[in-house]
């Protein structure tokens, strides 16, 4: 049975993540918000620390392990497992309490790494270990419909030749490799969509531009073209067979892993806003009393209590989706519910905190306005609010994507 308290075994990792967020990320947050596209060199030291902990085994669960299907996993004593996925979402939430853009810039922690963890076989997982991988899905004109991908991958002997264009690739310029979604045969629809690991510097792969953005400015967001770009056939993640009955469930399993992570980012950013806003309200003489009904308190306190309740719901959904992944339970529904809830309330909370803080919240003297800008992307990438609601409806009603559009 799931227990949605923070597991005791992960508390040390989470405490360490909070210390990093407070002492390393917060102090440089505004610096790299203003210096968009400048690489945060301070992160190299942090990445080295994480690598050292990984080598020593002290950071169990610092990176998501994927959502591979199979039998339920149990510890030796028969209890269900609190593993890497749950540890990841909780530690990521703490890191985003510090700065979301800097978390997205952390070497070897890209969304492509979660794709590899979810889809790669054992040999690929070992071969790509330690690689910093971005993920390239979105294309001009495709929007949130991942099934309409036009980038092609044509097999030529022991290689695949990739042609197409990808946009909004987080860490697309800095990462060691990009996990590219492409179709093997457009006539077969979504079933032919596969993902490929394309190392940085591969001939035919070109970063065309870096985007200027509303938020997460510390993170580079690239547009990348692929022109007769050749990659080894062994870099196709998972199986090359096209199963028209399964559709592209294999590739979509990636989202079952990354959506709880994005929910964790929203939970962390919203928590930062709530913590600071409570302090600012207290300084203004507004005390939030948890022992009294909201309707008997000031409007500001009542609004704050409502936002905290929304935040708690988002956190619990995030933990449930990650816990299910750790225990090899299908979590597509829960992953989308967590992403939808956290993405929406994260944006609502950060903007609500700006409103409650008034001119202090709107100015650059505090980080509230920055967190409001950063949080919006967390409701958009990895599937928009509308897409998540559509997926949830399909899962609950038992309908396919062709039956419910």
How does 325-336 read in b/e, with b if 16+ C-beta sit within 10 Å? bbbbbebbbbbb
Name the β-bridge partners of 299: none
Which two structure tokens, joined as six digits, stand for 108?
């070897």
- Give the three-state DSSP class for 179: strand
Residue 214 CB partners (closer than 8 Å, separation 6+): 373, 376, 377
Handedness of CA 264, 268, 273, 278 (dihedral sign): positive
Q: Is 382 a catalytic residue?
A: yes
- Find out whether 100 and 130 touch, Cβ atoms under 8 Å: no
Q: Measured between alpha carbons, how far is residue 151 from residues 27, 141, 159 in Å? A: 41, 12, 16
DSSP conformation letters of 99-143 = -HHHHHTSTT--HHHHHHHHH--HHHHHHTTT--EEEE---TTTT
Four-CA torsion 84, 62, 102, 260, nearest 10 degrees:
0
**Exposed/middle/buried for residue 47 (C-beta within 10 Å: 0-12, 13-18, 19+):** middle
Residues 12, 174, 55, 324, Cα dihedral to 10°: 50
* CA gap 164, 150 in Å, rounded: 7
Per the listing, tokens 């945060």 go with 40
Give the C-alpha separation, 337 to 317, whole Å: 7
Catalytic pick among 173, 334, 366, 382: 382
Query: Whole-angstrom distance between the N-terminal and C-terminal Cα of the chain?
Result: 35
Strand partners, 166: 224
User: Which residues have a catalytic role annotated?
Assistant: 382
């Amino acid at each position: 049975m799931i227990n949605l308290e923070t597991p005791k075994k992960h508390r040390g990792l989470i405490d360490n993540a909070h210390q990093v967020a407070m002492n390393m990320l917060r102090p440089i947050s505004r610096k790299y918000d203003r210096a968009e596209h400048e690489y945060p060199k301070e992160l190299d030291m942090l990445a080295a620390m994480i690598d050292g902990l990984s080598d020593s085994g002290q950071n169990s669960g610092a990176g998501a392990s994927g959502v591979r299907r199979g039998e339920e996993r149990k510890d030796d004593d028969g209890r269900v497992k609190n593993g890497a996925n749950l540890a990841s979402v909780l530690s990521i939430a703490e890191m985003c309490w510090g700065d979301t853009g800097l978390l997205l810039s952390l070497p070897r922690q890209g969304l492509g790494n979660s794709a590899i963890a979810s889809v790669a076989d054992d040999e690929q997982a070992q071969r790509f270990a330690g690689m910093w991988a971005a993920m390239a899905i979105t294309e001009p004109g495709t929007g949130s419909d991942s099934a309409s991908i036009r980038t092609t991958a044509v097999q030529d002997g022991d290689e695949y030749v990739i042609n197409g264009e990808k946009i909004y690739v987080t860490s697309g310029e800095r990462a060691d490799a990009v996990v590219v979604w492409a179709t093997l045969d457009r006539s077969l629809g979504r079933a032919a969509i596969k993902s490929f690991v394309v190392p940085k510097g591969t001939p035919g792969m070109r970063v065309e531009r870096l985007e200027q953005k509303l938020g997460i400015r510390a993170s580079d967001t690239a547009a990348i073209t692929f022109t007769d770009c050749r990659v080894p056939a062994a870099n196709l993640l998972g199986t090359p067979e096209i199963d028209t009955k399964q559709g592209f469930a294999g590739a979509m399993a990636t989202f079952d892993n990354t959506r709880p992570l994005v929910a964790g980012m929203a939970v962390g950013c919203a928590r930062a806003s709530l913590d600071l806003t409570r302090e600012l309200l207290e300084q203004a003489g507004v005390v939030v009393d948890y022992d009294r009904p909201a309707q008997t308190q000031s409007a500001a306190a009542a609004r704050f209590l409502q936002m905290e309740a929304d935040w708690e719901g988002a956190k619990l959904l995030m933990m449930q989706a990650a816990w299910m992944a750790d225990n090899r339970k299908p979590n597509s529904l829960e992953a989308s519910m967590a992403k939808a809830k956290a993405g929406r309330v994260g944006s609502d909370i950060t903007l609500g905190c700006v409103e409650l803080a008034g001119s202090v919240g709107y100015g650059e003297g505090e980080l509230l306005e920055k967190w409001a800008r950063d949080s919006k992307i967390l409701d958009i990438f990895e599937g928009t609010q509308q897409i998540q609601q559509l997926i949830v409806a399909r899962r609950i009603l038992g309908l396919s994507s062709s039956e419910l559009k």
